[in-house]
Each structure stands twice: as C-alpha cells, then as structure tokens.
Amino acid sequence: MSVTELACQRAREIRLMAFDIDGVMTDGTLYYHADGSESKAFNVLDGHGLKMLRQAGIAVAIISGRASPALAARAANLGLTEMLRMGVTDKRAELVALAEACQQPLSACGYMGDDVVDLPILRAAGFSAAPANAHPFVKEHVLWVSRARGGAGAVREVCEFLLEAQGKLGAMLQEYLQ
C-alpha cells in the first residue's frame, strides 16, 4: 500500500482532528509589540475548513505548546474554546485525554504539526499531517503533507482532504451553490 493510499485509509477513520498553532494555523511568525503583547495572523480559509469539519461531525481541537491571548480569541471566534489546550508540554498525553473525553480510539484521531517537538503526538495519532514548510524531518514521519504552507491554507487543505476521504466534501461544497 502506498503512503497516499494509507493516508486516505486513515483519513476515513478520523473523528477528532487536532492542530498545532504556530507554523500550522499561522506562518510561525511571532509579532511582539512595545507593550509586550503579541499578535498572530490567522487565515480565514483555514477557519472555514475547521467549521466544515465540525459540520461533518468531526471534532476539532487545538493543542499548542504556547499560550497566547491571540490564540484564545481565535479559538473563541471559531467556537473551539472547550477544545483549546494551550501551554501543553506533553501534547501526546493531551491527545490521549481528548480521545478519551470524545470516546474515540487514538486511531480515530489526527494531528497536524510542523516541528520536531510534534513528533510524539504525530506518531501516536491515527492520521498525521504537516504543512509544506514543516521541518524536513517531520515531513519524513507523517502520512500527509499539504501543498500550502502553514498559515497560508495548509489547515484548509487537510480539512478538505479528510472530508474528501470520507466522501463528504462534494455534497458540502454543493450546498454553497443553492
């Protein structure tokens, strides 16, 4: 079985998809302001992809090693406050806890990360993905790599890949034509 076939097979089983933030939902740039606050830029296409996953019955979570008010605000905007985990030092353990809370096996959970610190959670998840600009070593150890870079549509791309693998994307897109 090819890597692409395996990625599609695993994608069909996903019922919980979790994401890193810096380098995945953002381009990884941290903007620090004179008052010490920080800001991040998020892609609206990615946000709609997350909403589509939820609409299709796939739970969405954010597991980030960093905590920030900008992330909390974005999660609230997307309705993900209950599935937001910030300042996490052991992302793998957090995914296990979320899987148990959602009553799903790890094989039904996916994660998208971009750096070597994400490898333990990526290797534990049933489906693993990385953006095009992820660390090269990470890209060698995931099932699926987007064409888009982090913060520039990578999240939307993986959302649509999951929905297509599950046979849901076409009908969802057709709804916009009505």
Q: Which domains does the chain have, with CATH numbers?
A: 3-177 (3.40.50.1000)
Residues 158 and 144: beta-carbon distance below 8 Å: yes
Spatial distance between the Cα atoms of 129 and 137, rounded to a whole number of angstroms: 13
> Given pLDDT bands bounded at 50, 70 and 90, which one contains residue 177?
very high
Arithmetic mean of pLDDT over the chain = 95
Rounded to 5 degrees, what are φ and ψ at 85? -125, 110
Spatial distance between the Cα atoms of 2 and 79, rounded to a whole number of angstroms: 36
Digit-coded pLDDT (tens) for 67-88: 999 999 999 999 999 999 999 9
DSSP symbol at 153 = T
Mean pLDDT value of segment 117-132: 98
Mean pLDDT value of segment 100-119: 97
- Nearest-5° Cα angle at 7, 1 to 53: 155
Tokens, residue 77 = 């905007």
* pLDDT exceeds cutoff 80 at 115: yes
- Please tell me whether the overall predicted TM-score, pTM, comes out greater than 0.85 for this model: yes
